[in-house]
Amino acid sequence: MIPVPSLAEALRHTGQELNQILDRLLPPVEGPEARVHAAMRYAALDGGKRLRPFLVLQTAHLFGVAQQAAERTAAALEMVHCYSLVHDDLPAMDDDDLRRGRPTCHKQFDDATAILAGDGLLTLAFEVLAGPETHSDPQVRCALIAELAQAAGARGMVGGQMIDLEAETQPDLDVAAITRLQQMKTGRLIEFACQAGAILGKAPHQQRHALRAYAHDIGLAFQIADDLLDVVGDPEAVGKGLQKDAQAGKATFVSLLGVDRARAQAEMLVDQAIRHLDSFDEKADLLRQTARFIIERNS
Amino acid sequence: MIPVPSLAEALRHTGQELNQILDRLLPPVEGPEARVHAAMRYAALDGGKRLRPFLVLQTAHLFGVAQQAAERTAAALEMVHCYSLVHDDLPAMDDDDLRRGRPTCHKQFDDATAILAGDGLLTLAFEVLAGPETHSDPQVRCALIAELAQAAGARGMVGGQMIDLEAETQPDLDVAAITRLQQMKTGRLIEFACQAGAILGKAPHQQRHALRAYAHDIGLAFQIADDLLDVVGDPEAVGKGLQKDAQAGKATFVSLLGVDRARAQAEMLVDQAIRHLDSFDEKADLLRQTARFIIERNS
């Protein structure tokens, strides 16, 4: 029997794998428009925990999905995630200079190039999903595209970022409003990550439902953990400026609940997420570990 | 026999029709994220010549494509076109205050909202194309998505805008370089518009090829006409600031060829475009008129 790899090992492996796939899918730095290709690569390669693609690969694993299908879907999702970071970091939005310990895309290039790089990544994500290499059944490819677009669009991630920007002038948001905001801004993409394997594997409704519930809980736990890191994290490990929310007077889970209750809430959500996986066998062990990791990480 | 409507009439009709479809497809202005929905509507409704959707509807007409399929594809393409205008108008890009005689999206709202509205429109375009209402055959929907993404992405429209921004500091571009730039920045989307009907109608290769050649020629003629309008147009009719390129010292077809040669070149392209339609019957008459209109318009 092959031992289950540790989560850290598996995440590291996914990171390497994903860089290779992204490198193949991203346009080479060539032509008179090379600058935007370079910025897309800067934004998408070598960065982050790759949590969303990891979730795609792991849920695909539950249903025996072909490696290439899972990898391309994971890469497309990561492109959407990276585009959102590039646009969110712009001076007109959150105005961040540092991301993953490096200058943000617009600091490394310029605002115009960063806007275009984000646009290019978002567009490429859909091109990748539409390609026949992603799945032999075009119905499945269309389902992936529709779900990703809904998760990322104006009633999902983009809408969440809109609320978040407006929240800076509305420090009186309550826990329900913050939960909704985060569900849109980060939750929907995590939900897509956990659904993607089920869509690719044409999983039965009940299993899709269990994965959606799992995603919902880890998504919220993830955000609470982020808010905790912003207050009690180590800036060097996190790789970006901290205490931004507190300085901006923004309502967060931590400002509303306090550190202890926020932490307890995140732990409760993680326990609940793991219970949603009860119908899966040991193939879901890394997903169970991931739920724990989400609140135990230091970056 | 039903008389062929005049082009002006047909364009007006398309404009109204498209507003209705876009109104149905765009998110209603509701929820805590309502601001981004309002900005998307501001950017996409009631504006422009609707040339690209018109080309989709007319090429779909050649192959007897169902109205709903053609309309949704036309609307998706117009969303992509409108998103590109919103982002291109941003201060970090072309910094335009006026578009179609109204304040640009970021002037009406703000930069952050405009960035998000553009992102939302681009994402929604792919959601619309992926929906089963667009075509019963998911293979066709995937083909539309792949073609649109290629046309709009970093090796198409987005790449063209990147070159255009860099061209401001490179006034020594020659006609070949400008042609390539414009082919990417505006030509690829016009090409998609003319291909879309053929994709929806599963047209034979030869007819697709003829439409691609037609698109190529009108796309270039369109850009030369734009450059001419920038120099000799009526600002009130055009609805945006003129002589921007000349003031910025940017190389254009007119600066390189002069007004007379540029106009002659555009006329030659239009004649050639019309000849590419020789294998089509009178169903293509409005496409023939469109080619003429492109260089005779005053806005």
Q: Given an 8 Å threshold on Cβ–Cβ distance, is A120 in contact with B153?
A: yes
Please give the structure tokens belonging to residue A77: 């999702």
Q: Given an 8 Å threshold on Cβ–Cβ distance, is A127 in contact with B153?
A: yes
Residue B224 per-residue DSSP state = H
- Which residue type does A101 have? G
Domain positions in chain A are 7-296
DSSP string across B60-122: HHHTT--HHHHHHHHHHHHHHHHHHHHHHTSTTTT--SEETTEE-HHHHS-HHHHHHHHHHHH
Please give the structure tokens belonging to residue A88: 């969110």
Which ipTM score applies to this complex? 0.94
Q: Given an 8 Å threshold on Cβ–Cβ distance, is B158 in contact with A116?
A: yes
Only one residue has tokens 């490696």, namely A67
Phi, psi of B114 (to 5 degrees): -65, -40
The rounded percent of chain A whose pLDDT value lies above 70 is 93
Sequence-ordered list of residues with C-beta below 8 angstroms from that of A251, at least 6 positions apart, any chain? A167, A170, A171, A172, A173, A174, A177, A178
Predicted confidence (pLDDT) per residue in A100-150, tens digit: 889 999 999 999 999 999 999 999 999 999 999 999 999 999 999 999 999
Contact between A103 and A97 under an 8 Å Cβ cutoff? The reply is yes
Taking only Cα atoms into account, the Rg of chain B, rounded to an integer number of angstroms, comes to 18
Question: How many CA atoms, within 13 angstroms, populate the side-chain half-sphere of residue B21?
Answer: 26
Phi, psi of A48 (to 5 degrees): 80, 175
Identify the pLDDT of residue A167.
86
CATH of A7-296, one of 1.10.600.10, 1.10.357.10, 3.40.50.280, 3.30.530.20: 1.10.600.10
Q: Given an 8 Å threshold on Cβ–Cβ distance, is B180 in contact with A139?
A: no
Q: Residue A118 CA to chain centroid, in angstroms? A: 15
Q: A278 burial class (0-12, 13-18, 19+ CB within 10 angstroms)?
A: exposed
Q: Given an 8 Å threshold on Cβ–Cβ distance, is A180 in contact with B127?
A: no
What percentage of chain B's residues is helix, strand, coil (to nearest 5)?
70, 0, 25
The Cα A22–Cα B256 span in angstroms is 40
One digit per residue, pLDDT tens: chain B, 299 residues?
455 568 999 999 999 999 999 999 999 999 999 999 999 999 999 778 899 999 999 999 999 999 999 999 999 999 999 999 999 999 999 999 999 889 999 999 999 999 999 999 999 999 999 999 999 999 999 999 999 999 999 999 999 999 999 987 776 788 999 999 999 999 999 999 999 999 999 999 999 999 999 999 999 999 999 999 988 877 666 666 666 776 677 788 998 999 999 999 999 999 999 999 999 999 999 999 999 999 887 77
Identify the pLDDT of residue A1.
46
Taking alpha carbons only, the member of B141, B222, B162 closest to residue B189 is B222
> Would you say the C-alpha torsion B93, B96, B102, B104 has a positive or negative sign?
positive
With b for 16 or more beta-carbon neighbours within 10 A and e for fewer, the B132-163 pattern comes to: eebbeebebbbbbbbbbbbbbbbbbbbbbbbb
Please give the structure tokens belonging to residue B129: 């194309």
Instruction: For residue B90, list chain A residues with Cβ-Cβ distance below 8 A.
Output: 92, 112, 115
pLDDT confidence tier of residue A193, bands split at 50, 70 and 90: very high
The whole-angstrom distance between A224's CA and the closest CA on chain B is 21
Using a CB–CB cutoff of 8 Å, tell me whether B169 touches chain A: no
Phi, psi of A102 (to 5 degrees): -125, 165
Neighbours of A97 (CB within 10 A): 13
Predicted confidence (pLDDT) per residue in A71-82, tens digit: 999 999 999 999
Contact between A126 and A76 under an 8 Å Cβ cutoff? The reply is yes
Provide the pairing of β-strand A98-99 with A102-103: antiparallel
What residues does B98 pair with on adjacent strands? Answer: B103
Average pLDDT of the segment spanning A161-169: 90
Identify the pLDDT of residue B1.
47
Using a CB–CB cutoff of 8 Å, tell me whether A187 touches chain B: no
pLDDT confidence tier of residue A252, bands split at 50, 70 and 90: confident
Instruction: For residue B184, list chain A residues with Cβ-Cβ distance below 8 A.
Output: 33
Only one residue has tokens 């889970």, namely A253
Cα–Cα distances in angstroms (integers) from residue A66 to residues A56, A82, A256, B13, in the given order: 12, 25, 44, 48
Q: Which of residues 194-213 of A touch B (CB under 8 A)?
A: none
Judge whether residue A235 has pLDDT over 80.
no
Identify the pLDDT of residue B5.
67
Q: Given an 8 Å threshold on Cβ–Cβ distance, is B126 in contact with A116?
A: no
SS (H, E, C) chain A: CCCCCCHHHHHHHHHHHHHHHHHHHCCCCCCCCHHHHHHHHHHHCCCCCCHHHHHHHHHHHHCCCCHHHHHHHHHHHHHHHHHHHHHHCCCCCCCCCEECCEECHHHHCCHHHHHHHHHHHHHHHHHHHHCCCCCCCHHHHHHHHHHHHHHHCCCCHHHHHHHHHHHCCCCCCCHHHHHHHHHHHHHHHHHHHHHHHHHHCCCCHHHHHHHHHHHHHHHHHHHHHHHHHHHHCCHHHHCCCCCHHHHCCCCCHHHHHCHHHHHHHHHHHHHHHHHCCCCCCHHHHHHHHHHHHHHHCCC
Phi, psi of A55 (to 5 degrees): -65, -40
Using a CB–CB cutoff of 8 Å, tell me whether A111 touches chain B: yes
Instruction: For residue A77, list chain B residues with Cβ-Cβ distance below 8 A.
Output: none
Please give the structure tokens belonging to residue B64: 């007897």
The Cα B20–Cα A296 span in angstroms is 50
Cα–Cα distances in angstroms (integers) from residue A109 to residues A80, B146, B154, B161, B168, in the given order: 19, 28, 16, 15, 16
Using a CB–CB cutoff of 8 Å, tell me whether A258 touches chain B: no
**Cα torsion through B135, B198, B290, B101, rounded to 10:** 40
Neighbours of B28 (CB within 10 A): 12
The Cα B197–Cα B210 span in angstroms is 13
The rounded percent of chain A whose pLDDT value lies above 90 is 81
Q: Given an 8 Å threshold on Cβ–Cβ distance, is B115 in contact with A115?
A: yes
Q: Given an 8 Å threshold on Cβ–Cβ distance, is A33 in contact with B93?
A: no
Average pLDDT of the segment spanning A48-74: 96
Using a CB–CB cutoff of 8 Å, tell me whether B161 touches chain A: yes
Q: Which of residues 42-101 of B touch A (CB under 8 A)?
A: 83, 87, 90, 92-93
